[in-house]
Structure 1
């Protein structure tokens, strides 16, 4: 499965988790300490929006502002689907994956930003499910992709500052890959 197909799968998975959110669950805490359910969805919307704008040529300083300020609207699922469709279209444009963008982490090819978006959508789908008692199992193809992208960073992942405390050191090597991935990024299922 290529990365565009994985982005579609990650977006669909996140949308399925939004569909599991009850009307009274938007203020529940998530495993991402800074965000409740509504805040987590808003964060993902902002990340998608930022990726689109970067691919359109936005500058680094502008990009940070795109991470917030997208309202959920009356129908968070419809808002997310439109946002995700826009992102998928942007990454599917000819040359988008080779284009160098001014990401807040440095000048990166679109393909690297695509990898970030797949990871963000995948991991936050689990966070969202955990918060509302939804489906925590993630598609195997997504788990494998995100693991392949992040496992090489395992020695330093806690110092990056976006993955909580990093790996606990308590998960055996023969544990299911999803369990190892979640532990790697500071989630303690």
Structure 2
């Protein structure tokens, strides 16, 4: 489990602003998904486009659960009608914003298997997952969104706090044991080497085990 360190500056003062912007980028990508693409493969090899959409909505629903003080692991991912993904995303985004609207939630102690801190720190830990899966969806459907530099920077900062550069299986075995699981499915491959001057979004997805230079 990671305990965040560092001063409460920048996006951690109010990560809800970053969440709003990450949701907006996701909305732009989801709006461009065509029904004919729903069964296409994605960089998440275990998910097609439809399953990835359900997972993205599920991430927002887990964020909502955290804000409400509920168990985020009780959230189930469910497909919706093919023409309702944009509506589902918008509705989940509204629920997430409402769940975190009280400033007191930002300082409430929270803990997940991989991070413990206050609400602001735990909320920020989701920026990487939201942004990387938005990239997955954009890549799978041929979209080239206008990436929000502030969101990507916050996501990359959070990812580097949670994910070690190497030996990620060891980390997730510890998490698995802490949660009482016999097996652990490592959701991230090892970081992919990439030039330091690569675009920020490429460096983020490479840290999360994707190779942005290779077609999936």
Q: Normalising by structure 2, what TM-score?
A: 0.75
Please give the alpha-carbon distance, in whole angstroms, between the structure 2 residues aligned to 1:106 and 1:9: 23
1:185 paired residue number: 208
Kindly name which structure, 1 or 2, has the bigger radius of gyration based on alpha carbons: 2
Instruction: Report how far residue 105 of structure 1 moved.
Output: 4.0
- Residue correspondence of structure 1 range 23-38 to structure 2 within 5 A: 23-38=35-50
SS of the counterpart of 1:155? coil
How many residues are matched?
Answer: 183
Please give the alpha-carbon distance, in whole angstroms, between the structure 1 residues aligned to 2:148 and 2:108: 29
Task: Tell me: CA distance 1:89–1:35, structure 2 relative to 1, closer, same or farther (3 Å).
Answer: same
Please give the alpha-carbon distance, in whole angstroms, between the structure 1 residues aligned to 2:67 and 2:137: 27
Task: Tell me: CA distance 1:154–1:127, structure 2 relative to 1, closer, same or farther (3 Å).
Answer: same
Please give the alpha-carbon distance, in whole angstroms, between the structure 2 residues aligned to 1:131 and 1:174: 24
Deviations 1:70-108 (A, max 9, x none): 342341101110101110221222211122335354654
Please give the alpha-carbon distance, in whole angstroms, between the structure 1 residues aligned to 2:114 and 2:42: 25
| Kept after mapping to 2: 8 A contact 1:64/1:104 | no
Please give the alpha-carbon distance, in whole angstroms, between the structure 1 residues aligned to 2:90 and 2:23: 8
Task: Please provide the CA RMSD for this pair.
Answer: 2.2
- The equivalent position to 2:154 in structure 1, one of 128, 134, 145, is 145
